[in-house]
């Protein structure tokens, strides 16, 4: 059985400062058995999100800014709705308009 949550992390978010925040979140994510994947090239989050859905993850959580969220949503939309995981957002980018618009807390630990 696969873990319930997949965290897709953009290490370049917020001009590379996202690493520090993600490091602080690791114990929380580990406590719930979440699995991490980091992006290494543009559109990688799209691929990782699609793969997570195909692997049966119940939740896919984007850690980054609006660009990361956009890529993750694009990946999730590539799978049938019946197999699509719930989207989560942890706003650790320089632009977090989507997270703000849907009421996600600004503090990364509260958002997770």
Identified catalytic residue from 14, 24, 66, 97: 66
Q: Where are the alpha helices (DSSP H) in the chain?
A: 18-31, 44-54, 66-76, 97-101, 108-111
Q: What is the distance between the terminal CA atoms of the chain, rounded to a whole angstrom? A: 22
Catalytic residue at 24?
no
Q: Which residues are catalytic?
A: 66
């Amino acid at each position: 059985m696969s873990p319930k949550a997949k965290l897709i992390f953009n290490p370049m978010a917020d001009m590379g400062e996202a690493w520090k925040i993600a490091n602080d979140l690791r114990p929380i994510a580990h406590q719930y058995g979440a699995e991490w994947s980091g992006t290494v090239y543009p559109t990688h989050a799209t691929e990782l999100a699609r793969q997570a859905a195909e692997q049966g993850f119940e939740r896919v959580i984007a850690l980054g800014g609006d660009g990361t969220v956009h890529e993750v949503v694009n990946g999730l939309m590539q799978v049938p709705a019946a197999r699509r995981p719930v989207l989560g957002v942890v706003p650790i980018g320089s632009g977090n308009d989507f997270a703000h618009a849907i009421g996600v807390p600004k503090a990364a630990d509260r958002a997770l």
